Structure 1
Amino acid sequence: MSKIVLARIDDRLIHGQVMTAWLQYTDGNHIVIVDNGTAQDSFLQTVMKMSVPQGVKLDIFNETDGAQFLQAEHGQDNIIILAKTPEVYLDLIEAGVKLDEIIVGGMGANGQRKKFYKNISASPSERETFQKIIDHGTTMKVRIVPSDNATDVEGLLK
């Protein structure tokens, strides 16, 4: 039976930390990217596919198709979900995808985001989305790499 072993917010999606630390920590063997932009960009998809180690499956979906895929059974797969924003996860949850925990990883600063915790930034609307996700019963934690102590997002929102 397939299971979701990691749901992570990271604007870079696949990069060194995901490939080395999180794959090993979770025993993940199937990465599912849910991102509308990446799902429409064949060049970016090719780059992502080249970044995944041999033996690890990669699927890239828009939000609608991602929700459908994640609600289906996928054998013995240990699935790692990657998305760039918390809004994607709220949409997945509201579409019926069961997520016990979401890890907030790389959320870099931009014009709308301000420092949220250490090197993590979030806009006011993203903070509201964090709270909505928590209100759905999903735990959210900031944790850049598995060896870091996890920091509860709910406590940071107060």
Structure 2
Amino acid sequence: MSEIVLARVDDRLIHGQVMTAWLQYTDGNHIVIVDDATAKDDFLKTVMKMSVPQGVKLDVLTVEDGSDFLQKDQGSDKILVLAKTPEVYLQLVEAGVPLKEVIVGGMGANSDRTKFYKNISATDGERETFKKIIDKGVNVTIQIVPSDKATDAAGLLK
């Protein structure tokens, strides 16, 4: 039976930290990117496929397709779910995807975001979305790499 071993918010999606630290830490063998824009961009999907180590499966899906996919058994796969924004995880949880935890790893600064925690930035709307995810019974933590101590986001949202 498949298992979601990591659900991570990272606006970079696949990059060195995910490929090395998180894949090894979780023993993951299947990356599922859930992002509408990326799923519709054939060039970007090709680049993502070239970034994944041999032996690791990759699916790049829209939120709707990702929700359906993640609710079905994927055999013995250990799945890492990656999304750019917390809104995607709220949509997945509301659609019935069983998530126990969402780890915030990379949300860079931009003109709409303010500092949330160390080098993590979030808009007021993203903060509200984290609260809604927590209200659905999902633990939200901040952890850049597995060797970092996880910080409970709930305490930062009060």
TM-score band (shorter)? over 0.9
Deviation at 1:101, TM superposition (A): 0.3
Counterpart for residue 134 of structure 2:
134
Mapping for residues 5-154 of structure 1, pairs under 5 Å: 5-154=5-154
Question: What amino acid is the match of 1:138?
Answer: V
Question: What amino acid is the match of 1:75?
Answer: G
Deviation at 1:111, TM superposition (A): 1.1
Deviation at 1:88, TM superposition (A): 0.2
Task: Provide the aligned length of Structure 1 versus Structure 2.
Answer: 158
Q: How well do the aligned residues superpose, as a CA RMSD in angstroms?
A: 0.3
Q: Distance in 1 between matches of 2:11 and 2:74?
A: 26
SS of 1:141's partner is strand
TM-score, normalized by length of structure 1?
Answer: 1.00
TM-score, normalized by length of structure 2?
Answer: 1.00
5+ residue gaps in structure 1?
Answer: none
Question: What amino acid is the match of 1:152?
Answer: D
Deviations 1:17-66 (A, max 9, x none): 00000000000000000000000000000000000000000000000000
Q: Distance in 2 between matches of 1:26 and 1:67?
A: 21
Deviation at 1:90, TM superposition (A): 0.1
SS of 2:148's partner is coil
Identity of aligned residues (%): 73
Displacement over 3 Å in runs of 4+ = none
